[in-house]
Amino acid sequence: MLTSSSSLSRPQVKEPKQPPYQAAQQVKFLHLEAEVESLLQQLQTLKQQRIASEEVGSKE
């Protein structure tokens, strides 16, 4: 015997549970990841420039 008519009125569909902020957090993460990559590239460039200037300075 069914005690609730609501279960008959609409079938239960299991939808994947995803928080509404997941897409926004993914975008933020990708932006931060790109910024980190950019900063690492800048550090590598500065390190190379410093090494090059030290080599020039030691030759003089």
Q: Is 7 domain-assigned?
A: no
Residues 28/22, Cβ–Cβ less than 8 Å: no
> Per-residue pLDDT tens for 3-55?
555 556 666 777 767 666 688 899 999 999 999 999 999 999 999 999 999 98
Assess if residue 34 is contained within a domain: yes
Count of structural domains within the chain: 1
Domain with 46, as residue range(s), is 22-50
Q: Is residue 17 part of a domain?
A: no
The answer to the question of residue 8 being in a domain is no
**Separation CA 60–CA 57 (nearest Å):** 5
pTM for the whole structure: 0.57
